[in-house]
């Protein structure tokens, strides 16, 4: 993700691209007591309670243990297989979307977006997504800025929450199809400033490709999308992010209300950030699917967490309480949908 983008994106071209180029078909946890006082309806309650933060923590650690998941590395390949194996084990329909892209520094990389879907016959869909790759250099650090970092929060935590949600979709049918999309090559962009706004398009290369190559009719059937980015850090705060508020304010309001209703208003705050460039930027611009970003953004510093794109982004910053909060909110969102109407911006 781009560190900070102060320019607001002003147009929403609705482009429904047909086909799916480059796609190939692939077809005992401990518990944690957070002393919730959550009250949910009887249908949603079992699924909501099923989300296990300890399991999400383990998913995070297993990714980190492979090493930095930089495209083109052995760690990246091993993590890809880990994602596929777990999603297929959980009974989801798994597709790997492969392509190549040229990064801002002139290098070419093969990348793989992983798409895992539940209830594939249901035309009504919800998109949950996040990136699984790691930035190849800790360029915001003062020590060894040219070397890669663990990416425990920035990449692994969002993929872990998606994996943990996917673990329950078969056991607890949601009444709506859920598509978990793990974007690749998100974090190989060039840091920029207001003088060079065009460099924002060097980020989120996997999601740009995904949004340009949707299957026929998907955008019309997808009610909304939720992007996760840095959702496992200690003392995380999720304000209303600027690009989300521009493209999908009703979706933001819906999810933040749910978070407040189940007791997590101190995490999902009503502060507003400037616009940022992230995967949801291109999902909105290129597909027209109203998509919001749940992203840790510390308002007191007007920036991302202190460990963003630094070597300190390790398992030491991952907190099961944060994973628990995000996972429970998403489960409540999913199992509250059923035959409801698509939120419109």
The series of mean pLDDT values per 10 residues for the chain, 345 residues long, is 41 33 39 36 69 98 98 97 98 98 93 97 97 96 96 98 97 95 95 55 94 94 97 97 98 98 96 94 97 92 87 98 98 83 42
Which residues does 139 contact at the CB level (< 8 Å), separation at least 6?
145, 146, 191, 309
What pLDDT, on a 0 to 100 scale, did the predictor assign at position 114? 98
**pLDDT number for residue 47:** 82
Q: What is residue 1's predicted lDDT score, i.e. its pLDDT? A: 59
Q: What is the pTM of this model?
A: 0.86
Residue 46: CB atoms within 10 A of its CB come to 13
Q: What are phi and psi of 53, to 5 degrees?
A: -65, -30
The pLDDT value given to residue 21: 41
Q: How far apart are CA 159 and CA 80, in angstroms?
A: 11
Kind of pairing, strands 222-229 and 125-131?
parallel
Can you read off the two tokens belonging to residue 217? Answer: 């009719």
Write down the pLDDT at residue 338: 76
What's the confidence (pLDDT) of residue 304?
Answer: 85
Question: What are 158's two structure tokens?
Answer: 């969002």
Task: State residue 302's pLDDT score.
Answer: 74
SS3 category, 261: helix
CB 174 within 8 A of CB 47: yes
Nearest to 154 by CA among 318, 324, 338: 318
Tokens at 49, concatenated: 């309670």
Residues linked to residue 294 through DSSP beta bridges, in sequence order? 228
Parallel/antiparallel/unpaired status of strands 93-102 and 23-26: antiparallel
């Amino acid at each position: 993700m781009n560190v900070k983008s102060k320019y607001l994106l002003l147009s929403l071209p609705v482009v429904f691209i047909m086909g799916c180029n480059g796609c190939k078909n692939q077809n005992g946890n401990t518990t944690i007591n957070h002393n919730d006082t959550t009250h949910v309806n009887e249908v949603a309650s079992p699924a909501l309670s099923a989300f296990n933060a300890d399991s999400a923590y383990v998913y995070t650690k297993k990714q980190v243990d492979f090493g930095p998941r930089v495209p083109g590395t052995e760690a990246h390949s091993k993590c890809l297989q880990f994602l596929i194996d777990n999603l297929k084990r959980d009974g989801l329909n798994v597709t790997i979307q492969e392509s190549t892209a040229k990064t801002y520094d002139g290098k070419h990389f093969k990348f793989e977006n992983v798409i895992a879907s539940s209830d594939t016959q249901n035309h009504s869909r919800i998109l949950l997504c996040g990136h699984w790759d790691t930035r190849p250099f800790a360029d915001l650090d003062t020590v060894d800025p040219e070397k890669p970092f663990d990416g425990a929060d920035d990449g692994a935590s969002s993929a872990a929450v998606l994996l943990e949600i996917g673990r329950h979709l078969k056991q607890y049918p949601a009444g709506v199809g859920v598509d978990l999309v793990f974007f690749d090559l998100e974090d190989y962009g060039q840091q920029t400033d207001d003088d060079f706004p065009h460099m924002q398009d060097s980020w989120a290369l996997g999601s740009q490709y995904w949004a340009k190559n949707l299957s026929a009719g998907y955008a019309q059937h997808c009610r909304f999308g939720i992007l996760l980015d840095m959702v496992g850090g200690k003392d995380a705060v999720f304000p209303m992010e600027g690009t989300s508020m521009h493209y999908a304010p009703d979706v933001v309001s819906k999810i933040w209300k749910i978070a407040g209703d189940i007791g997590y208003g101190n995490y999902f705050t009503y502060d507003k950030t400037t616009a940022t460039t992230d995967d949801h930027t291109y999902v909105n611009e290129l597909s027209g699917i109203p998509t919001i970003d749940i992203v840790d953004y510390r308002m007191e510093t007007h920036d991302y967490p202190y460990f963003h794109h630094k070597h300190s982004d390790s398992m030491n910053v991952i907190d099961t309480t944060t994973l628990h909060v995000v996972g429970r909110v998403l489960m409540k969102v999913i199992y509250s949908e059923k035959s409801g109407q698509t939120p419109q911006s």
